[in-house]
Chains A and B, each alone.
Chain A
Amino acid sequence: MPSQPLRVAVVCSSNQNRSMEAHNILSKRGFDVRSFGTGTHVKLPGPAPDKPNVYDFKTTYEQMYSDLVRKDKDLYTQNGILHMLERNKRIKQRPERFQSCKDQFDLVITCEERVYDQVLEDLNSREQETFQPVHVINVDIQDNHEEATLGAFLICELCQCIQHTDDMENEIDELLQEFEDKSSRPFLHTVCFY
Chain B
Amino acid sequence: MASGSGERHFTGSEEAAIDMTTSEKVVDLLNQAAFMSTDDKLTALKQVQELIINKDPSLLDNFLDEMIAFQTDKSIEVRKFVIGFIEEACKRDNELLLKLIANLNMLLKDESVNVVKKAILTLTHLYKVSLQWLVQSKSVSEMQEACWNMVTQMKEEVLALLDSDNDGVRTHAIKFTESLIIALSPRKPDSDVPKKQEGDISLDKIPKDHSYIRYDVLCEEGKSALEQLLKFMVHPAISSINLTTALGSLATLARQRPMFMSEVVQAYETLHANLPPTLAKSQVSSVRKNLKLHLVSVLRHPSSVDFHSQISTLLQDLGMAQSEIARCVPAAAQPRKRSRHEPYSEGKRIKIEPALIEDDEDKEEPAPVVAPKPSTTTGTQSAIDLTADFIRPLLTPENVANLVLISMVYLPEVMPASFQATYTPVESAGTDAQIKHLARLMATQMTAAGLGPGLEQCKARGEEGKEGEGEASMEESSSKDPLIIRKVSAVSLGQAISVVGAYKSQPAEETPQAKKLPEPILPSTQSKAPGSSGRKKVFRLADVVQPLSDSQLEKLTNMAVKRILQAEKAIARSGMSHVRVKLLARLMTQFEGTMKDDMLRFILEDMRTRSDLAFSLLYQEYNQYLSQLPSGSLDSYEHCLFSLLSGLQERPEQRDGLFTKLVLEAPLITESALEVIRRYCEDESRVYLGMTTLKELILKRPSRQFQYLHVLLDLSSHDKEKVRSTALTFIKRMYEKDHLREYIEKFALNYMQLLVHPNPPSLLFGVGEDTEVASPWTEETVRQCLYLYLSLLPLNHRLVHELAAVYTEAIADIKRSVLRVIEQPIRGMGMNSPDLLLLVENCPKGAETLVTRCLHILTDKVPPSPDLVERVRDLYHKRVPDVRFLIPVINGLEKKEVIQALPKLIKLNPIVVKEVFNRLLGTQHSEGSPSMSPLTPGELLIALHNIDSTKCDMKSIIKATNLCFGEKNVYTSEVLAVVMQQLMEQNPLPMLLMRTVIQSLTMYPRLGGFVMNILSRLILKQVWKYPKVWEGFVKCCQRTKPQSYSVLLQLPPAQLISVFERCPEMREPLLQHVRSFTPHQQAHIPSSIMAILEASSRMQEPEPQREPEHMEAMEEREMHPQQVMMPVAQAEPPAPSVTAVHETVPPQSGSIKREEEEPMEEGEADLERLQVVSEATTQQIEALKSEPGTASVPQEKAEEPMETFTKSADAADQPQEEVDSVAEPETPAGEAERSREEED
Contact = CB atoms under 8 A, between A and B. Distances in A.
A127 B195 contact: yes
Interface in B286-331: 286, 289-290, 293-294, 297
Interface stretch (A28-36, A91-99, A184-192): A184-192
A124 interface: yes
Interface string A138-180: 0000000000000000000000000000011110110011001
Interface stretch (B244-252, B776-784, B931-939): B244-252
A132 interface: yes
Contact of A187 (B176, B245, B282, B289): B282
A38 B1048 CA distance: 137
Contact of B293 (A124, A129, A133, A167): A124
Given A3-B75, A167-B166, A190-B289, A173 B194 contact: no
Given A3-B76, A3-B77, A190-B286, A132 B167 contact: no
Contacts of B124: 131
B171 to A, nearest CB: 6
Interface string B65-87: 00000000001110000000000
A64 B196 CA distance: 39
B175 A190 contact: no
A56 B226 CA distance: 45
Interface in A85-133: 116-117, 120-121, 124, 127-133
Given A3-B75, A133-B172, A167 B114 contact: yes
Interface residues on B, range: 35 or more
B264 to A, nearest CB: 15
B94 interface: no
B168 interface: yes
Given A167-B166, A186-B281, A128 B252 contact: yes
Contact of B241 (A167, A177, A189): A189
Nearest to A135: B241
Interface residues on A, range: 20 to 34
Given A120-B289, A127-B194, A180-B282, A190 B241 contact: yes
Prevailing SS type, chain A contact patch? mixed
A133 B171 contact: yes
A193 B175 CA distance: 9
B249 to A, nearest CB: 9
Nearest to A181: B280
Contacts of A124: 248, 251, 293-294, 297
A181 B176 CA distance: 34
Given A173-B240, A191-B244, A131 B282 contact: no
B248 A186 contact: no
A194 to B, nearest CB: 11
Contacts of A116: 289
Contacts of B244: 190-191
Nearest to B75: A3
A167 B113 contact: yes
B1174 interface: no
A2 interface: yes
A190 B114 contact: no
Nearest to B286: A188
Contacts of B75: 3
Nearest to B78: A3
B972 interface: no
B960 to A, nearest CB: 89
B285 A186 contact: yes
A4 interface: yes
B167 A170 contact: yes
A131 B124 CA distance: 9
Contacts of B289: 116-117, 120, 188, 190
B196 A129 contact: yes
Interface string B237-268: 00111001100100110000000000000000
Nearest to B194: A127
Contacts of B38: 3
A82 B195 CA distance: 45
A189 to B, nearest CB: 5
Contacts of B77: 3-4
A193 B178 CA distance: 12
B282 A188 contact: yes
Contacts of A4: 77
B1177 interface: no
A132 B241 contact: no
B357 interface: no
Contacts of A191: 171, 241, 244-245
Nearest to B239: A173
Contacts of A173: 167, 239-241, 283
The 3 closest A-B pairs by CB, nearest first: A169-B168, A186-B282, A127-B194
Interface of B: 38, 75-77, 113-114, 117, 121, 124, 166-169, 171-172, 175-176, 179, 194-197, 239-241, 244-245, 248, 251-252, 280-283, 285-286, 289-290, 293-294, 297
24 contacts: A3-B76, A3-B77, A116-B289, A117-B289, A117-B293, A120-B290, A124-B251, A127-B195, A127-B197, A128-B252, A131-B124, A133-B175, A135-B241, A169-B113, A170-B167, A170-B169, A180-B282, A187-B282, A188-B282, A189-B240, A190-B244, A191-B171, A191-B245, A193-B175
Interface of A: 2-4, 116-117, 120-121, 124, 127-133, 135, 167-170, 172-173, 176-177, 180, 186-193
